[in-house]
Amino acid sequence: MRFSFLFLFLPISIIFADVSRFIDSIELPGAGGQIKVFTKSSALISSKPVSLRSYSDDTVVLPSTITLSRETLEQRLGESIAHRYQASGKVVAFLTREWNSIKVSSNYLIKISDCSPDQICSSTFTRFSIWDGGNLVGEFAEPLRIGHFIDVFFSKTPLQRGTRLNSIQFDKKPVDILKKHAGTVPANINLKGYQLASNVKSNTPIKWNFLSKVTLVKKGQIVDVFASGNGIYVTMKGMALEDGVSGGNVTVKNLSSKKEFQAKVLNENSVKVHL
């Protein structure tokens, strides 16, 4: 009796176990020939549309096309303009006209052919083309608004005129140097050799016209002169005939020969001349 019961149950189990292999041949009326097959899996289910399903390993291949929207195009144009001019910091671009999104593959390219004016400025007219898989999608000409953001120096505390500067006196903040912050001093500049030409309040962006070079050599001062060239190295004493700033040129008189020559200021006590 027990053997007969098991014999009757066995075919039913086999039928239910193998029924999934008949699903592909079922056609539902009104479905337009499209059948969705759902399989139970421990993997996450993607909310994106499926373009191809492999029945061998049940892997899902995502679509290879994307929508080139306004936001995406602006980001790519900003990156392309920054690369074109080798600009530091971050360049952002904004379209000033309506843009109709287009479909491209994920390997599309944007090539900028011309910018007018041919430099980074707040407004520019840019000609560019879009390529996809080696094929030209289209050529475009768009007016753009540009922002160029870099870190600049901001004063931490009020500073007085004549203060010699160093980087620890300042904070670094990103600003758009193409607009009201034009002429600000980038935070990667070495401030040694500079002083303030005017008083500055706290939290003020530092501009170049706020600064002046520190006078290192003064008129009438005796300085060490280092002369080199053609395998010759000479040191001598000289008198500065004018004030000189760091890196600037100053007229010096040789104390022995009384000859005058131009020399580059090295520090408070030294100048250099090339023979």
Flag whether the pTM goes above 0.75.
no
- Look at the alpha carbons of 120, 121, 127, 131 in this order and tell me if their dihedral is positive or negative: positive
pLDDT for 275 equals 74
The tokens describing 98, both together, are 């309506």
| Domains present along the chain, CATH in parentheses | 68-148 (no CATH), 149-213 (3.90.1210.10), 215-274 (2.30.30.760)
Q: How far is CA 205 from the centre of its chain?
A: 21
Nearest Cα residue to 248 out of 228, 265, 269, 272? 265
Q: How far is CA 173 from the centre of its chain?
A: 15
Q: How many CA atoms does the CB half-sphere of 47 hold within 13 Å? A: 0
Phi, psi of 173 (to 5 degrees): -135, 145
Q: 125 pairs with which residues across the strands? A: 116, 143
Nearest Cα residue to 34 out of 53, 59, 61, 56? 53
pLDDT for 150 equals 95
pLDDT for 61 equals 55
List average pLDDT for each run of 10 residues in the chain, which is 275 residues long: 44 44 44 44 38 50 78 95 94 95 92 94 95 93 96 95 91 93 92 91 94 90 89 89 90 91 91 87
pLDDT for 36 equals 45
CB atoms within 10 A of CB 57: 5
Phi, psi of 25 (to 5 degrees): -90, -5
pLDDT for 151 equals 96
